[in-house]
Amino acid sequence: MAQFPTQPADVAPEWLTERLRAAGVIADASVQAVRWESIGTGQVGDSARFHLSYDRADAGPATVAGKFPAADAMSRGTAAAFGLYAKEVGFYRQLAPQLDIRVPRALAAAIAEDGVDFILLFEDLGPARGGNQLDSCSLADARAAVVQAAALHAPSWDNPAITGLDWLQSREGQVEQVKALYSNAQVIFRERYADALEPEFMAICEELNEGRDAWFGQDRGPRCLIHGDFRLDNMLFDIQDGTESIAVLDWQTVALGNGLTDIGYFMGTGIGNDLRVTCEGELLDLYCAEMTARGVPLSRDTVWDDYVVGAIHGISTAVFSAAYVERTERGDANFLSMARGGCALAQEHGSLKKLKG
């Protein structure tokens, strides 16, 4: 058994006291009582907010947040098979301190040898406004997210101290495993959403499946850390009652790749097609300016092809995730939104043609 709680109901005052003291958050005070409530809409992990009472007034934070394995067996199995929980724990242990991107401070990060049982305990960033990809966002929110993308990519850009970490490398056979599973995912996606997704967009999904050998495992340009699921649902805005503009959450898909994959994903699947069409150039220019200011000179011309190809990641993620995580009503809406936005970008800019070329 894991030597730490693996679901919200198991988190005890004694364990919290130990972890908060170790993190330097409290001194000699003790947590006397705890109650929790579910937060977030994630399908691969379950999150909760914990309300704490101490043995003295104002001894420590009134709330903290925690993340745990998904209660749903299929989602939990998918996460374990692809090392998603281990990646997120590794991110907070090793990578977050080296980056400029704003993420919640981890107060505890533990994972069992089986790669399934884990816990992450965080500072609570509330009150905050959760991003919602189904509602899109303001241009100001999109700009804040793009700045954070640069804060992730620039410090790790061709940085061997980060890109050389063993646990970030693809496992032997992983690409072939994904290719093998993807055809089945497309069958499920087609059967489930044929009446909901526009036929021209479903045709793009089918074309991607047929060309999956060119997509999965392809390596384009400089390598850096990428978030892998860089969309509004994984962001908080106006955090800590508006004292800061944004924080980025959910690092289970952190990986090595081309930074423009995150940007293409965000613009295609993250913010809605209306905002993307209107502000695409401005947001790309902002990303390039932020990267240049951080020591990685980029321009719209130099990143364009990688951006357009990067948008395919949103399509493939929607198809794959729909098949292999717990099905929910909101999940269906999310996957349709992701596929619709990614396919619209791909259709407008010829993403699949650029991939093959």
The token duo for 96 is: 């977050």
Contact (CB, 8 A) for 124 and 65: yes
Contact (CB, 8 A) for 128 and 238: yes
In this prediction, residue 41 carries a pLDDT of 65
The token duo for 352 is: 């699949």
Question: Under 8 Å CB-to-CB from 243, ≥6 apart: which residues?
Answer: none
**Alpha carbons 105 and 107: distance in angstroms, whole number:** 6
**Alpha carbons 219 and 297: distance in angstroms, whole number:** 20
In this prediction, residue 1 carries a pLDDT of 47
Other C-beta atoms closer than 10 Å to the C-beta of 212 total 19
Burial class (CB in 10 A: 0-12, 13-18, 19+), 127: exposed
The token duo for 108 is: 């505890």
3-state class (DSSP) for residue 95:
helix
- Domains, the chain, in order of start with CATH, read 8-123 (3.30.200.20), 129-356 (3.90.1200.10)
Identify the H or E element spanning 347.
helix 329-349
Nearest to 84, CA basis, from 251, 232, 258, 226: 251
Phi, psi (deg, nearest 5) at residue 286: -65, -45
Pair type for strands 129-130 and 118-123: unpaired
In this prediction, residue 16 carries a pLDDT of 97
What string of DSSP letters covers 205-229? HHHHHHTHHHHTT---S--EEE-S-
**Alpha carbons 152 and 230: distance in angstroms, whole number:** 11
Contact (CB, 8 A) for 266 and 149: yes
**pTM value?**
0.93
**Alpha carbons 333 and 346: distance in angstroms, whole number:** 20
The token duo for 45 is: 């992990």
Nearest to 189, CA basis, from 208, 174, 173: 208
Residues listed for the chain: 357
Identify the H or E element spanning 304.
helix 300-310
The pLDDT tens digits along the chain (357 residues) read 468 999 999 999 999 999 999 999 999 999 999 999 998 766 678 899 999 999 999 999 999 999 999 888 888 888 888 889 999 999 999 999 999 999 999 999 999 988 899 999 999 999 999 999 999 999 999 999 999 999 999 999 999 999 999 999 987 888 898 899 999 999 999 999 999 999 999 999 999 999 999 999 777 778 999 999 999 999 999 999 999 999 999 999 999 999 999 999 999 998 999 999 999 999 999 999 999 999 999 999 999 999 999 999 999 999 999 998 888 999 999 999 999 999 999 999 999 999 987
